[in-house]
């Protein structure tokens, strides 16, 4: 395939994804759901579940194996940019001791209980869903990670769409979700290291490398970014050279965290937390980056991730009872434990349920975990599809649970 042919093919796929994702996004907004839910489902429909099933030849031509790496790069850049924007918009004035204490409790509960439930499910269905050569311990940790993961980027976008990102509940949920996902990625790195026979040292590199990355960002990068903020404030605008420095730093952060096994999303988010909150700087970042990222790049990420999901395997009757058990365990272990924990933290039942519903959303982070499990030959394709179903259902229920729970909260 020549360069021109590659350009035409990538652009064709890109245009189709944007049209379908924005159409479904608007449809789900009309139905009262966040736009991102429609974008996620559009990706599943564009994959082998629907488009690939009814039009296999057309699908194979548009989304050929040669093009997927190009779409992957663009989609992940979009996610990294968006998470940088999310981090830059977090209001640190909401980081009270009470919020931090509650988010730590929520994180602990929302990880421990899903792992307990996952251990039970893994023991029961190990022979059915684990690939040959994978130990029960590794399989249990993987399933626990899938149960404990939270749709960090998707949750951030939902909160942003609903203008509750900087509300007490929004801040609490985002902080807790980030903690849960970092811990989940660290645990997952141990499992993938074992599956790839790399040794446990890979997991330690992820753990200590992640700590070192955060230290470098806040001790070295933050003062440099503060200098840019002061210069922008003095000039009255963010100049192109300083914006270029920020973009380079953002790409470097995404690359480093990806290499560490923490996924590029955290590199963008952590760097976003470190940028100055000066009005001119914030406005400059928003005007130069936000619209293009949200409208063009981000939908590609949510859609791309759904292209690998085949929901047709759920029609297998052999998997029906295990599917109900695994989906039920995933929902109860996250939503139930989070709700009860927040009630004992001093929130009302309505607020506690709202937090539990938001935390329960797995979204495309679940799809990423599922893809890792399939790529490393940890799980079977059938379990992969069940995890995709968990991602869709928990995300679909997030806002209805939030709205119902907060209806009578003053």
Question: Other CB atoms closer than 10 Å to residue 289's CB: what's the count?
Answer: 20
**Same domain (yes/no): 299, 169:** yes
**Same domain (yes/no): 321, 391:** yes
Task: Give the end of a domain, one of 17, 38, 68.
Answer: 68
**Same domain (yes/no): 9, 81:** no
Q: What is the pLDDT of residue 334?
A: 92
Contact 126, 139 (CB under 8 A): yes
**Same domain (yes/no): 62, 76:** no
Q: Kindly write down the DSSP assignment for every residue of 68-109, as one continuous string.
A: HHHHHHHHHHHHHHHHHHHHHH--GGG--HHHHHHHHHHHHH
**Same domain (yes/no): 42, 81:** no
pLDDT band with cut points at 50, 70 and 90 for residue 282: confident
Q: Is the pLDDT of residue 197 over 60?
A: no
**Same domain (yes/no): 291, 188:** yes
Q: What is the pLDDT of residue 327?
A: 94
- The CATH number for 310's domain is 1.20.1530.20
Contact 233, 278 (CB under 8 A): yes
pLDDT digits 0-9 by tens, 84-114? 887 787 766 666 777 777 788 888 898 999 9
**Same domain (yes/no): 229, 326:** yes
Chain length of the chain? 410
**Same domain (yes/no): 14, 81:** no
How does the average pLDDT of the chain come out, rounded?
83
Alpha helices in 332-380 (DSSP H): 337-344, 349-360, 363-375
Residues spanned by the domain of 34: 3-68
Q: What is the pLDDT of residue 284?
A: 87
Q: Which residue did the predictor score with more confidence, 209 or 331?
A: 331
**Same domain (yes/no): 293, 361:** yes
Q: Which residues contact 342 (CB under 8 A, 6 or more apart)?
A: 102, 106, 351, 352, 355, 356
379 backbone dihedrals φ, ψ, rounded to 5°: -125, 160
Q: Which residues contact 96 (CB under 8 A, 6 or more apart)?
A: none
pLDDT digits 0-9 by tens, 307-329? 777 777 777 777 788 999 999 99
Q: What is the pLDDT of residue 126?
A: 94
Q: Which of 74-88, 179-193, 225-239, 385-399 has the lowest mean pLDDT?
A: 179-193
pLDDT band with cut points at 50, 70 and 90 for residue 154: low
**Same domain (yes/no): 42, 126:** no
Domain count, the chain: 2
Average the pLDDT over 335-355 and give the result.
Answer: 87
% residues pLDDT > 70 (the chain): 93
Cα 26 to Cα 313: distance, rounded to the nearest angstrom: 28
**Same domain (yes/no): 42, 109:** no
Burial of 89-107, coded b for 16+ CB within 10 Å and e otherwise, reads bbeeebeeeebeebbebbb
pLDDT digits 0-9 by tens, 45-61? 888 888 888 888 888 88
Distances (CA, A) of 175 to 53, 108, 165, 404: 40, 12, 11, 23
**Same domain (yes/no): 22, 140:** no
């Amino acid at each position: 395939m020549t360069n021109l042919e590659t350009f035409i093919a990538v652009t064709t796929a890109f245009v189709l994804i944007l049209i379908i994702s924005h159409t479904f996004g608007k449809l789900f907004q009309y139905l009262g759901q966040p736009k991102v839910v429609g974008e996620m489902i559009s990706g599943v429909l564009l994959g082998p579940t629907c488009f690939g099933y009814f039009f296999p030849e057309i699908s194979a031509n548009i989304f050929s194996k040669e093009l997927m790496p190009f779409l992957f790069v663009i989609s992940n850049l979009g996610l990294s940019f968006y998470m940088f924007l999310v981090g830059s918009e977090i209001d640190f004035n909401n980081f009270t001791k009470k919020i931090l204490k509650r988010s730590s409790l929520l994180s602990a509960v929302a990880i421990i209980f899903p792992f307990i439930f996952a251990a039970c499910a893994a023991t029961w269905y190990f022979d059915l869903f684990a690939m040959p050569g994978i130990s029960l311990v590794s399989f249990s940790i993987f399933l626990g990670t899938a149960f404990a993961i939270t749709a960090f980027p998707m949750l951030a976008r939902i909160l942003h769409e609903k203008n509750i990102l900087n509300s007490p509940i929004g801040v609490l949920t985002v902080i807790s979700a980030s903690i849960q996902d970092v811990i989940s990625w660290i645990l997952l790195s141990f499992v993938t290291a074992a599956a790839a026979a790399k040794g446990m040292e890979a997991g330690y590199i992820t753990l200590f490398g992640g700590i070192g990355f955060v230290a470098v960002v806040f001790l070295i990068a933050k003062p440099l970014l503060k200098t840019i903020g002061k210069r922008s404030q003095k000039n009255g605008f963010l100049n192109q050279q300083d914006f270029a420095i920020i973009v380079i730093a953002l790409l470097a952060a995404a690359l480093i965290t990806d290499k560490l096994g923490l996924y590029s999303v955290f590199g963008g988010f952590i760097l976003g937390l470190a940028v100055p909150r000066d009005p001119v700087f914030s406005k400059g970042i928003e005007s130069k980056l936000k619209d293009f990222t949200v409208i063009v790049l981000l939908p590609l990420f949510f859609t791309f991730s759904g292209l690998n999901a085949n929901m047709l395997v759920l029609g297998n009757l052999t998997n029906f009872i295990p599917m109900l058990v695994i989906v039920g365990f995933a929902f109860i272990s996250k939503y139930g434990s989070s709700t009860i924990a927040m009630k004992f933290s001093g929130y009302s039942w309505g607020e506690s349920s709202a937090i539990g519903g938001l935390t329960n959303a797995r979204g495309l982070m679940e799809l990423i975990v599922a893809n890792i499990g399939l790529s490393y030959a940890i799980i079977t394709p059938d379990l992969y599809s069940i995890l995709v179903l968990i991602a869709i259902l928990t995300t679909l229920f997030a806002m209805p649970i939030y709205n119902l729970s907060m209806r009578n909260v003053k």
